[in-house]
Amino acid sequence: MSEPALRRIIVAVDGSPQSLQALEAAAGLAASLEAELHGLFVEDSALLQLASLPFAREVRTYTATVRQINPEIVQGQLRRQSLQARRAIESVAVRARVAWAFRVRRGPVVGELLDEMSEADLVVLGRGRHLGQRRLGSTARAILLETTRPVLMIDKRLPPSPHALVLFDGSERAERTLALTSEIVDALDGYLTLACAAGSPGTALIAQRQGFTRLRAQGREAQCRWLIKPTVHKLATVFQAERADLLAVPGDIGLLGGENLAHLLQHISGPVLVVR
């Protein structure tokens, strides 16, 4: 049997509900995959620089008062947040019985996250909701666009025996997406459905055969749905019709009618794995 590909899972924690939800999901995956859980907290250097400026002011909405921002107070708040993040990771990791580590970095948030995540086998990010709409934050958007690592966007934890829908067109990146998703699903005792994306039934059949051949070589099986001339709307419809718990897509989703990843995430309710 081949060595597991997913050994090091990184999750960024800032104390927000989204990040804590991502932490819980990451710990559950780490336990199932026998992987290490690495937590990261970034002290935003831009915030610290702003606090040091003599004209920086804080406006209190409810009292309509204005006061100067104290750099020492900001630094103290960041230290408390990092301590809370460390305690949260320790608590979750101990409960899940997984090996864990925690690191604090200072600098531009996106840059520090990307640098730390460069050696991750899987990055888990929280995905918020706002006024009933699925929302992709600016930091998560930047990570998805710039990282070369697989990213799991979480807005709810994967259930036991999850059903994963994998967008597959036979490309090298689609095969990598299928391999990583298979590992996750196997660890959680779930199952797979291929969404074979193609311009015609003939090419969809070729993609189906290729995907099944790859899976059977590893002793795995799957179902298949064809997506002829695929679009985000068609993929979202299949995801809902299949009652899937996880959507896995290659990072380059231009095959979906030229629509982008942010548009896809707005249409999907549930965890999404993006593989570069």
The reported pLDDT for the residue numbered 108 is 85
- Exposure b/e, 222-260, CB count within 10 A at least 16 = b: bebbbbeebbbebbbebbeebebbbbbbbbebebbeebe
The reported pLDDT for the residue numbered 211 is 95
Q: Would 8-46+75-152 and 158-275 be classified into the same CATH topology? A: yes
Mean pLDDT taken over the chain = 83
The answer to whether the beta carbons of residues 184 and 33 sit under 8 Å apart is: yes
CA nearest neighbour of 214 among 243, 254, 183:
183
Homologous superfamily of the 8-46+75-152 domain (CATH) = HUPs (3.40.50.620)
The 10s digit of each residue's pLDDT in 88-121 is: 999 999 999 999 999 998 888 888 899 988 889 9
CA nearest neighbour of 60 among 50, 69, 73:
69
The reported pLDDT for the residue numbered 55 is 44
pTM recorded for the entire structure: 0.84
Domain boundaries, given as residue ranges, for the chain: 8-46+75-152, 158-275
The reported pLDDT for the residue numbered 119 is 86
| Domain made up of 158-275: CATH architecture | 3-Layer(aba) Sandwich (3.40)
Q: What is the mean pLDDT of each run of 10 residues along the chain (276 residues)?
A: 75 86 92 94 72 48 46 74 91 95 88 89 78 58 85 86 95 92 93 94 95 91 93 92 94 72 82 91
Pairing of strands 8-12, 36-44: parallel
The 10s digit of each residue's pLDDT in 236-245 is: 999 999 999 9
